[in-house]
Structure 1
Amino acid sequence: MVLLLVVDLDPDLAALRPLGAFFALRTVGETPGTARPALPTLAQVYENRASDVYGNSMTFRVEKVARALRAPEPRIAASIAHQGLAARLWSVALGCAVLYGRIPDLSPRRLHWDPDASAPDDLWLDAVEPLPGDAETIADVVLHGHLEPLTAALRAEYRLATGLLWGNAASALAGAARQLGHRPDVSARVRDLSAALLAHPLLEGTLESTTGRRRSCCLYYRLPEGGVCGDCCFTRAPRSSPRGTSG
């Protein structure tokens, strides 16, 4: 049994910063008097509402990723953009859960996102309101609050396979857990949380239980300079598939 230390969430979530850029989260409380950034909330993004700055923010992001990686198809860039945002959300939630014993309310209406930023995705939280740090709460916040509407939006716009997108989500979760697991003081807690989350019906079976390899492909190998990822279902990049297959 892993004993869980619960401490108050500080206004700038300072304990996340040493973990690296995927885990650190900017908050309005970082600097006294900081105004809420003029960026779309993720709620606006998922609901396909135009922002004053970027118009359709998800389209803007996918096109930016496509240009940067010279993606031959928009859906390849959409898959990579999806996995990048999923990795940020999992990293913040898991990092807070194991370091504080709680997570902040990461509701889409509270998180602001800059689709024009470089990787990792730039997120701002408008207020730090604590929630329990258990797997059920994390699933409600990240899986149901974010990844379900994000998956639906990208599937509708770019015709990405559902299995590919949930494979992205599981891969991003496993990656965040591996990074956190390097810390001996929290490794057992990380292992328990990630195992419980990967057993969720939306993620169950997306990774092989013994190897952790995906059962789907994120399409990264189709980039001009692409190859296979460390957890790819392929051991080497296959030949180009006909347009429209999911990989």
Structure 2
Amino acid sequence: MDLDPELAALRLLGGFSVLRTVPRTAGATGPAEATGTPGTRRLPTLAEVYAPAAPAAHPDALALRVATVADRLRTPEPRVAASIAQQGLAARLWSVSLGCAVLYGQVPDLDPGLLHWDPLASAPDDLWLAELRPLPGDAATVAATVLHGHLEPLAAALRARHGVAAGLLWGNAGSALAGAARELGRWARAHGRTDVAARARGLTDELFAHPLLRPTGTRAGTAFRRRSCCLYYRVPGGGVCGDCCFARPPRSSPGAASG
């Protein structure tokens, strides 16, 4: 089945999998979007967000996102907010790509220059794709699209600006992939779609064989145990996540296992 213009099949899978291909207008619910028309707020592309020297129109889009997440989590630590922000965006990118690959057999080209992002939005991250260009729905294409197209430049930007450890960020990427696959498999089983569950499982296995993801944790079926910590336990009222390397929040040297 070819990609339809609105990627309508993704709506069945929940908010993390939805990808808008039509921008919101000023009268819609939520923030108005960057289309260049009067009265709208232009959203940056992710290419602009990742750029080492961001254009004048969006000089601090990534910093704004980190600050927004920090404010909502009530954490004074930018490194913690940067980690949570990165994992949230990774979850969106994996969910969209896996959902399209298994439901359509194709994935949209998520070129960072085509994908607009609202740094002020709540979770899940608000994404808008300016042009729908279908690509093959295989693991190599998904890895090229998500890992190399987005998560590598995003990790580089967060390491440079916030000093977040590379191992932590790739652990977040692995955790987000495992979570996206688990949710897709859960939906498939609930709706009797054994074909979707099998495709999701096979695609996820191939993706975790990638050198950037293979060291991030151990897997047993849909369960995943990461080898790093996302630092959520440092959020006021937070704790350890279900796939954390820690059994309980550490009391000292909190950064020791974060990489």
TM-score with structure 1 setting the length: 0.91
Question: Which shows bigger deviation, 21-30 or 156-165?
Answer: 21-30
2:183 counterpart of 1:179: yes
2:171 counterpart of 1:154: no
The one-letter code of the counterpart of 1:96 is: C
> In structure 2, what is the equivalent of residue 3 of structure 1?
none
Gaps of 5+ in 2: 26-32, 37-41
> In structure 1, what is the equivalent of residue 212 of structure 2?
202
Q: Residues 165, 159 of structure 1: CA spacing in aligned structure 2 closer, same or farther, 3 A cutoff?
A: same
Gaps of 5+ in 1: 1-6
The one-letter code of the counterpart of 2:158 is: L
Task: Name the SS for the 1:27 alignment partner.
Answer: coil
CA shift for structure 1 position 55: 3.4
Contact 2:232/2:238 (8 A) holds in 1: yes
> In structure 1, what is the equivalent of residue 8 of structure 2?
14
Of the three residues 81, 84, 96, the one matched with 1:80 is: 84
Please list every run of at least 4 consecutive aligned residues from structure 1 whose deviation after the TM superposition is greater than 2 angstroms: 28-31, 34-37, 244-247
> In structure 2, what is the equivalent of residue 99 of structure 1?
103
> In structure 1, what is the equivalent of residue 126 of structure 2?
122
Contact 2:23/2:35 (8 A) holds in 1: no
Q: Percent identity?
A: 65
CA RMSD of aligned residues (A): 1.9
2:242 counterpart of 1:230: yes
The one-letter code of the counterpart of 2:4 is: D
CA shift digits 1:163-200 (9 cap, x unpaired): 10000000000000000001032111000001110110
Task: Name the SS for the 1:71 alignment partner.
Answer: coil
Question: Which shows bigger deviation, 84-93 or 66-75?
Answer: 66-75
Partner Cα distance (2:93, 2:56) in 1: 21
CA shift digits 1:101-157 (9 cap, x unpaired): 000111100100000001110000001110000000000000000000001110111
The one-letter code of the counterpart of 1:109 is: G
CA shift for structure 1 position 227: 0.3
Partner Cα distance (1:146, 1:233) in 2: 25
> In structure 1, what is the equivalent of residue 199 of structure 2?
189
CA shift digits 1:15-70 (9 cap, x unpaired): 00121110001112899xx9847210000000041463x53100000001111111
CA shift digits 1:44-101 (9 cap, x unpaired): 000041463x531000000011111111311000000000000000000000000000
The one-letter code of the counterpart of 1:229 is: C
The one-letter code of the counterpart of 1:187 is: A
> In structure 2, what is the equivalent of residue 109 of structure 1?
113
